[in-house]
Structures are given as C-alpha cells and as structure tokens.
Chain A
C-alpha cells in the first residue's frame, strides 16, 4: 500500500474513471474525425456517422484499427496533428518488412512517461533509487519510456540500453543499482552472469520491471530468487504509446491499465463482438488523449482477460492478465493450443538463444511439430554425449510445457533466417 505516483487518479472511484474516460473519448473521437481523413473514411465506410457516437458506450459501433491500417497509412496517414507539433517518433519491428511508425507531441511523451513513472513507483521506486534501464534505446519504446519515467520519479537513471553484459554488471555493482528494467529473458541472463562471476553479494537490486515479451510465472519466481528482488510486469505497445499502458503492482495479480489514458476492451477475435468482463479474448485499446497518434479501437492481437475486482494495492484501475500470446500466433496442434511464446520460454529456460523456428506439418493424418534451434557457443561442447543430453532435456521440457511431443533439431548458427525485426517463427506446412 501507499506506493503511488499519481494517487488521485490511480485510486479514483470507478465512476470517476468512467466519467473521465467518457469525456476524453468524445473529445478524442472528434479529434480523429476532424484531423485524420484516413480514420474518418474508415468510420464512414462502416456506415457510422459522427452523430452516432454520443458516449463511450457507443464505442462498440466503431470499426477496429489493426496493424494493417498502420502499414497502409504509413508513414503519415494516421497522424492527428501537424508535424511541427510532433517531437518524436518511435517504431516497431514489422513482420512484413514494412515498419510501423508512431508519432508523439510533447504532451504525448509526457503522458507516456507519467505511465512509466507510475510503474516505477508501484515497484517501490523513489528519488533515492538507482534505476538501470537495459531496454534498447532508440526506435524501440522500451528504453526511452522507462528512461523518461525514471526521470519523473527522480531516480538516478543509468541509460545502459541493451547488451554488453560486462558493462551492465560493472555499473550495477559500482553504482548500486536498485531497480532493473529489461526484458525478462535478459534479466534471467544477467542473473546467470552474476552467479558465474560470483557477484551476488555486490548486487543491491530490490525490484525489476520486466516486459516486452511473454514470460511465465515460473520464470518470475526463478528471477526473483536468483536476483533477490521482486519482479514487476510492465506491458505496452508502440502503437498506443509504449511500455506503461499497464503495469504490475505489489500484488502481482495482473497489470493495472492506465485507464485515464487508455480504454481497454476484450473482443471475440473472430466476430469482433465485445465480451463481458472476465472473458478471455483479444485485447483492444483506445488511446484517450494522445494528440499525434489518436488510435481508436486498435486490435493488439494479444489474448488475455480483464478483471475489475478491487485490488488490495488500493488502485482502482482495471487489471489485465499477462497475455497468453498473440491471437494470430496461436497454433492448434493435435487439438492442443500452442503459442510460440511457450516454446520460447522453454528455450530460454534451457539456455538456448531465442533464435528458433517452429515447423508444423501433417504426416499420415497426424500433426507433427519440429523445433529448429540454433547451437550457441555456450551450449556447444566437443563431447557429443553432452550435446545429446541437452537435446533430450529440451525435448522433455517442451513436452512438459506443451503437453505434446516436439522434435528438436539443433542447427548451425545464423541458419535460421533473420529479418529486420521479428523473424518468421512459424512455418505451417499443413494442407487442410
């Protein structure tokens, strides 16, 4: 209790939050209608007129936006203000090679950094903390977002960016970092490196803020134990602002959505129908007060559920569960739902690099799943027996996670195709 950055709004009544959302939404809809011709046309094409939208309850009448819209409208088509008012772009890695670019005005950056500050304070951050940011800086939102939030809280900010583990550990120990911000897989890697170098006694970390990739509760427990910290979730997406769209609190029972800035819905991914609170479905966000990039009903493709149960941390913001994976990523193999993120979790836990490819096929009417994993220097040995053992243990860990058998193939480094951003992880050869 008691760790709030903006207590008044974070702990506001549900009625007050709804009132703010309604007010901001109507303003935002008008803003997008008047300033984003691409959006206005999309709404008109769906048969909805401006006057049909009288309150936030009418939001379900509006069409969805998706990554395809962002690609079609690249780069300026969804811009809601003059470029002269914009001060920043951030970009996401695209799977088709075409990037998605999001724009920010000064106020947009400000509200985004507020959201990150709320996450840091929820993790126990104060102006006495030393916050080590090892998310990538640059086009990726991870570094800039947490960096800005850390400034707002008044932490001493270590703008490390990603990689260079030796330097990360040197600053972590020399400057007594207390809060670590990075991807969970990098946190696990840092923990391992700390153990290897015998630095555990020199680490002053108390909290970690981890996000930008799917991770399991098992991984959380493992990182917490090895680093001696409490691990907090953070969630976000560039299209909506970046990390801080939602954040974990001390209760670790889902992430509070910053509802004064972002309106969340859960829909049936097939029909688009809005589902009641507590149902699992695709998460859809509306940015309520962003000027430069006013996205309304943006489909995240993340599958999760929401809860409006009162949280014992005192916040009244609705919570979202950790996304299970992206709706377009889910595979059904032998009738079992499989998310590539589950396979990735196992690979990381077993010490393999996150370079992998999943090949699904149907042989004699039975689905097969093969996972190609790149060999790394860390896992390689001149002893074939040792490599075989590792391979076997990977097969059984995958079986434990997925409930079905997956064939594992170790392949040479850099033989799995790389792209500018996210690699093509899944090849489904099944002809059905």
Chain B
C-alpha cells in the first residue's frame, strides 16, 4: 500500500517530540508509524498518521516545516527470514531503498515496514508479486 508520510524538521532539544505528539493528540490523530533520523543539531521526524490532512494543518499552524512524500507500506512475514524474502524481490528488481523503518503493532501475524524509494508504484508491484 502507498501512503503519504509526513516528515517534520525538529531541533535536537528536550520537549520537541512531546510538543509535536501533543499537537497531534489534541486533534485526535493516531500515530501508525514513527521514525527519527538525526544529526547533532537537528533531526527529521517521519510519521504515518491516521488523518494526514488534519495533521499537516495542525503542524503548519504551529510553524513546523513539513515535507509530504509517498512511501510504501510493505507487509513482511513475521518469521525468521521474512524481511530477507521481501528484500530479495526488491533487490532483484534493482530498486534502491533510501531508508526504511518498521511500523507499530502487527497485522495478522505479519510485521510491516515503511520503505522510501524513488518509484513507489514499482516497488508496490514488485512486493505484491
């Protein structure tokens, strides 16, 4: 499944994540996945949320810089070698993954990963084969 991921620019300081999650909580927005990539000074918070439009509006209202990008939500069998079997297909199709992270909870015995690639449609086709 292709989903829109929200990336938020965050400074490395105490309370920053608390503030963002507070803003989303106030609007009754659920977090489905979360990942942070960080440097010394700042980080990029990546989110998959239940209601993208309200989340974007609420964060923009609070002056956050946001980027919205399509990402693939890929089902991974929750067994040893599960991720390997998925990555084999992706590698065989010569698709590079910029970054990936796992999603909260599990679905019918499967784990799920979020993957960022240049061509989400292609990846979707490859993993569903």
Residues of A whose CB lies within 8 Å of any CB of B are 375-377, 380-384, 387-388, 409-415
Q: Given B5, B46, B65, which contacts A377 in the complex, CB threshold below 8 Å?
A: B65
A414 to B116, CA, bound (A): 29
Chain B 27-56, CB-CB to A under 8 Å as 1, else 0, gives: 000000000011101111010000000000
Q: Is the CB of B65 within 8 A of A383?
A: no
Closest Cβ of chain B to A72, distance in Å, is: 37
Chain A residues positioned under 8 Å from B63 (CB to CB): 412-414
Identify 9 new A-B residue pairs, CB closer than 8 A, beyond the known A381-B7, A383-B116.
Answer: A375-B42, A376-B65, A382-B5, A382-B69, A382-B116, A412-B63, A413-B9, A413-B63, A413-B65
- Name A408's closest neighbour in chain B (CB-CB): B41
- Name B60's closest neighbour in chain A (CB-CB): A377
Q: Is the CB of B67 within 8 A of A412?
A: no
> Is B26 among interface residues, defined by CB-CB distance under 8 A?
no
A381 to B42, CA, bound (A): 13
A382 to B5, CA, bound (A): 9
Closest Cβ of chain A to B117, distance in Å, is: 12
A209 to B9, CA, bound (A): 37
Chain B residues positioned under 8 Å from A381 (CB to CB): 7, 67
- Name A374's closest neighbour in chain B (CB-CB): B65
Q: Given A375, A383, A409, which contacts B9 in the complex, CB threshold below 8 Å?
A: A375
Q: Is the CB of A411 within 8 A of B67?
A: no
Residues of B whose CB lies within 8 Å of any CB of A are 5, 7, 9-11, 37-39, 41-44, 46, 63-67, 69, 98-99, 116
Q: Is the CB of B7 within 8 A of A377?
A: no
Chain B residues positioned under 8 Å from A383 (CB to CB): 44, 98-99, 116
Chain B residues positioned under 8 Å from A382 (CB to CB): 5, 7, 44, 46, 67, 69, 116
Q: Is the CB of B42 within 8 A of A380?
A: no
- Name A384's closest neighbour in chain B (CB-CB): B37
16 contacts between A and B (CB under 8 A): A375-B42, A380-B65, A382-B116, A383-B99, A384-B37, A384-B39, A384-B43, A387-B42, A409-B41, A410-B9, A411-B41, A412-B64, A413-B63, A413-B65, A414-B63, A415-B11
A381 to B6, CA, bound (A): 10
How many contacts between A and B, using CB within 8 angstroms? 54
Chain A residues positioned under 8 Å from B43 (CB to CB): 384
> Secondary structure of the A side of the interface?
loop
Chain B residues positioned under 8 Å from A375 (CB to CB): 9, 42, 65
Closest Cβ of chain A to B12, distance in Å, is: 10
Q: Is the CB of B66 within 8 A of A387?
A: no
A414 to B61, CA, bound (A): 12
Q: Is the CB of B10 within 8 A of A377?
A: no
Chain A residues positioned under 8 Å from B116 (CB to CB): 382-383
Q: Is the CB of B67 within 8 A of A410?
A: no
Q: Given A377, A384, A409, which contacts B44 in the complex, CB threshold below 8 Å?
A: A384
Known: A381-B7, A383-B98, A415-B11. A410 touches B69 (CB 8 A): no
Q: Is the CB of A388 within 8 A of B11?
A: no
- Name B5's closest neighbour in chain A (CB-CB): A382
- Name B7's closest neighbour in chain A (CB-CB): A382
Q: Is the CB of A387 within 8 A of B65?
A: no
Closest Cβ of chain A to B33, distance in Å, is: 13
Closest Cβ of chain A to B48, distance in Å, is: 12
A414 to B99, CA, bound (A): 29
Q: Is the CB of B42 within 8 A of A411?
A: yes
- Name A382's closest neighbour in chain B (CB-CB): B7
* Most chain B CB inside 10 Å of its own CB: which residue of A376, A380, A382, A413: A382
Q: Given B38, B44, B64, which contacts A413 in the complex, CB threshold below 8 Å?
A: B64
